[in-house]
Amino acid sequence: MDIFKKCFDFDKVKLLKEANLYPYFHYAESGQDTEMVMEGKRIIMIGSNNYLGFTSDRRVIEAGIEALNKYGSGNSGSRFLNGTLDIHIKLEEELAEFLHKDACLTMSTGFQTNLGIISALCGRNDVILCDKENHASIYDAIKLSYAQMIRYEHNNMEDLEEKLKQVPEDKGILIVTDSVFSMTGEICNLPKLVELKHKYGARIMLDEAHGIGVLGEHGRGAGEYFNLEDEVDVIMGTFSKSFASLGGFVAANKDVVNYIQHTSRPFIFSASITPASVACARKALELLKADPQRVKNLKEISAYMRQLLKGYGIKIIDAETPIIPIYTYEDNRTFKACTMLLERGVYVNPVVSPATPVGQSLLRTSYTATHTKEQMEYCAKQIKEVLDELPFEDKELEARIKAEN
């Protein structure tokens, strides 16, 4: 059989495009900001991870330009060879200090960072307890590690403990979870995770991709939010969100970081982060440390949007993060909502099955510290009007939802 047969038979995208419902790969003609030009149309962006608004900050942009002029466009090699710059080391030192950890190591992407950490720390004699709603990069990292994966029900600490009870005492145990779950905005139950860590001799790794810059008074993530920073053994983070750049990092005990640095294949065999990306991340970190008010602004604008949506009677998941999912329930209804909102100048992200259970499709909206209340008022009104206009295909599902609400 031709190995390409699956490609030739793949018609889902074609059908969505023919129905004018394809919601992906819209292209922007301006930089990431609260308002952007997308395919010739001015839109309000409530679908990015630019949580602190640094992607359009002139100070961050100028730092990138300066590094580009000084170091050139790329490093042409891995950190092991010719790819280490002084600014890589400075960024790692600054991050370690900010996160109250011994050491830090940067990698070229967030996805690669999870691959690099987990595949280095875990092996065939280890067990990884993984929240069912963890990011895809964590799942791929576990496969690469050859460790045994045990999934526990999402944020269900009782189920996690039942699974931990079954792990033999001679196995190494790593509990891995997102700190902020990227689709729902929910926060992990770190206090209970810490309790179980000590009870069963495990270690905790937090994927703080959506937590740093978001949680805690200074934006240090879930550890600061729960006042449990010393209990988090491994912190993974990205630069593509709050730090307005590209890349990732791990922060942990210096011996752990040293081990990853010298054994992690995804790290060893990848080119290092480009100079401009490093410089932008450093400047964003500097600005965050100097002005934690940005974190407070983010919380306030997110809370204001929740208030508006609730006022319209729109069902949302309650959390304290800038990620607000809005239920649309059916896949096609979700695609139509995205299309209609874009026509009205509002960009949101569709999340459909299998990324969600069937009948639980949603619009993923996310907010930025520099959004205005006026922008939120416009977006909330458009969301309300679009949802009211959209019929359900499944009338039984519609009746059940109305009864539940």
In 201-234, alpha helices (H) = 222-225
CA atoms within 13 A on the CB side of 129: 31
Q: Is 236 left (phi over 0), alpha (psi -120 to 50) or beta?
A: beta
With vertex at residue 299, the alpha carbon angle to CA 213 and CA 25, rounded to the nearest 5 degrees, is: 65
Q: Are 252 and 235 in contact (CB under 8 A)?
A: yes
Q: How far apart are CA 267 and CA 265, in angstroms?
A: 5
Indicate which residue of 137, 179, 182, 240 is catalytic. 182
Q: Is 241 considered catalytic here?
A: yes
b/e for 120-139, b at 16 or more Cβ within 10 A? bbbeeebbbbbbebbbebbb
Indicate which residue of 197, 241, 283, 371 is catalytic. 241
Q: Is 384 considered catalytic here?
A: no
Indicate which residue of 135, 210, 283, 371 is catalytic. 210
Q: How far apart are CA 76 and CA 288, in angstroms?
A: 30
Other residues' Cβ atoms within 10 Å of the Cβ of residue 227:
11
Angle separating helix axes 136-145 and 110-121, nearest 10 degrees: 30
Q: Are 108 and 271 in contact (CB under 8 A)?
A: yes
Q: Is 310 considered catalytic here?
A: no
Starting at the edge strand found earlier in the chain, the sheet holding 41-45 runs 35-38, 41-45, 346-347
Q: How far apart are CA 285 and CA 218, in angstroms?
A: 11
Q: Which residues are catalytic?
A: 182, 210, 241
